[in-house]
Amino acid sequence: MKHLIVGVGVVGNATGTFLEANNEEVWYYDKNQKIIEKSDKSRWVLSLNFRNVSSFEVFWICTPENVVEGIIKQLSLRTRKTKIIIVRSTTIPGTLEKLQKKYHIQFLFHIPEFLREATSIEDIFNPDRIVIGGDDCGWVTPFFKTLHCPIVKTNLTTSELIKQISNAWLSTQISFWNEIKELCDSFKVNSQEVANAVTLDKRISKYGSNMLYKPFCGKCLPKDLENLINCFKQQNLNCYILHMVRNKNDFLRNKYEKNINYSKARKRN
C-alpha cells in the first residue's frame, strides 16, 4: 500500500522506518523545512494539496495533538472519505470520535505510540503491545503482522484513554520513588538499596526506581498528566492521586531549577 507520514519527528520517523522495513511504499510530509533537510528520507510530499495526496491509501498523523484536527480537516476535503487515516498523536479522550463524526470519516483509527525518544527505532520493532482504536480494525492489523506482541482492538476513546493512563502511571511511579527517597534520606539509609530490594517483587515495576531525585519532564509525561487531570474535571470527578503526583513533581522541579540557577550563578561569580 502507499502510505503518507504526516509529521516526521520521533514518532513519524520511527513509524516510517517500520513500514519501509515491511516493504510498504512510504512517503513523508512535514511543514518544517529543517526536518526535511536533515532527514535521510528520499520520498517527500511538499504540500497536502489534492494533487499530492489523492494517490495515497493510508495517512499516518504523527503531529502534536493541537494540529491533529487541522490535518484531518485537510485530508477529509482533499481525499475520498474511504481513505484510511491513522492518528498516532496523544489526543485527549473523546477527541477522535468527535472528529470522525464532524468530518464524516469512515476509516479513522487511533494507534498510540509507546516510544522512548532515545530508543524509538528499537522500541517500534519490539513493542509490548499494539493498541488499535476504531471500527473495522482488520483494515490496519496487517501492518503489524511481523510483530510478536498482543494486539488490543478497541474503540477510539478507549485507545486514547489507554495512552493517557499509561503515561500517568509512569509519572506516578517517578513521583512515588522520589518521595520514598526523601523518607530514606531522613533515616540515613541507602534509598537505592531499598528500591532495588523492593522491585525484586515481580508485581512491582522497576520504572522510576533509579534514585535520581529528579522531576519527570520532557514533551509527554507532564502534558499527558495535565490532560488526564482535566479529563477528570470535565467528567466532574475527583482525581486525588494524580493531583498529588503533579504537586510532588512541581515541587521537585522548582527545587531542581533553583539548584541549577544557583550553580550557574556561582560559576559566573
Residue 120 binned pLDDT confidence (cut-offs 50, 70, 90): very high
Please write the tens of the pLDDT for every residue from 39-98: 988 899 999 988 889 999 999 999 999 999 999 999 998 888 789 999 999 999 999 999
Together in a domain, 89 and 126? yes
Would you state the cell numbers that stand for residue 176, as one nine-digit string? 512515588
pLDDT bin (cut points 50, 70, 90) of residue 268 is low
Domain count, the chain: 2
pLDDT tens, residue by residue, 137-180: 999 999 999 999 999 999 999 999 999 999 999 999 999 999 99
Q: What is the pLDDT of residue 263?
A: 59
If phi over 0 gives left and psi between -120 and 50 gives alpha, with beta otherwise, what is residue 12? alpha
Mind listing the pLDDT tens digit for each residue in 185-202? 999 999 999 999 999 999
From 121, 139, 154, the end of a domain falls on 154
pLDDT of residue 211: 83
CB environment 46-56: b (16+ within 10 A), e (fewer): eebeeeebeeb
The answer to whether residues 54 and 107 belong to one domain is: yes
Residue 74: CB atoms within 10 A of its CB come to: 18
Look at residue 25 in the predicted model and tell me its pLDDT.
Answer: 97
> Residue 94: which region, alpha, beta or left (left: phi > 0; alpha: psi -120 to 50)?
left
Residue 263 sits in a domain whose CATH number is 1.10.1040.10
Pick 204 or 49 by higher pLDDT. 204
**Domain carrying residue 252:** 161-268
Given this model, what pLDDT does residue 140 score? 97
Residue 182: count of CB within 10 angstroms of its CB? 12
Indicate the residue type of 41.
K
Looking at the fold, whether 29 and 103 belong to one and the same domain comes out as yes
Residues 120 and 233 in one domain: no
Q: Looking at the structure, do residues 9 and 130 belong to the same domain, yes or no?
A: yes
Residue (of 45, 63, 62, 42) closest to 54 by Cα position: 45
* Catalytic residue ranges: 220
Q: Which of 102, 131, 154 is the last residue of a domain?
A: 154
pLDDT exceeds 80 at position 38: yes
- Dist CA 38 CA 185 (whole Å): 46
The per-residue pLDDT for 264 is: 59
Q: What are phi and psi of 3, to 5 degrees?
A: -110, 145
Share of the chain above pLDDT 90, in %: 84
**Rounded Cα–Cα distance for residues 38 and 158 (Å):** 36
Residues 62, 166 within the same domain: no
Residues 167 and 262 in one domain: yes
Q: Are residues 204 and 87 in the same domain?
A: no
Same domain, 139 and 247: no
pLDDT over 90 (residue 224): yes
CATH number at residue 114: 3.40.50.720
Better-predicted residue by pLDDT, 267 or 44: 44
State the average pLDDT for the chain.
93
Q: Which of 119, 154, 189 is the last residue of a domain?
A: 154
Residue 239 backbone phi and psi in degrees, to 5: -135, 75
Instruction: Answer yes or no: do 172 and 148 share one domain.
Output: no
pLDDT exceeds cutoff 90 at 262: no
Tell me what pLDDT residue 91 has: 97
Q: Does residue 148 sit in the same domain as residue 180?
A: no
Are residues 165 and 95 located together in one domain of the fold? no
Residue 265 pLDDT level (bands cut at 50, 70, 90): low
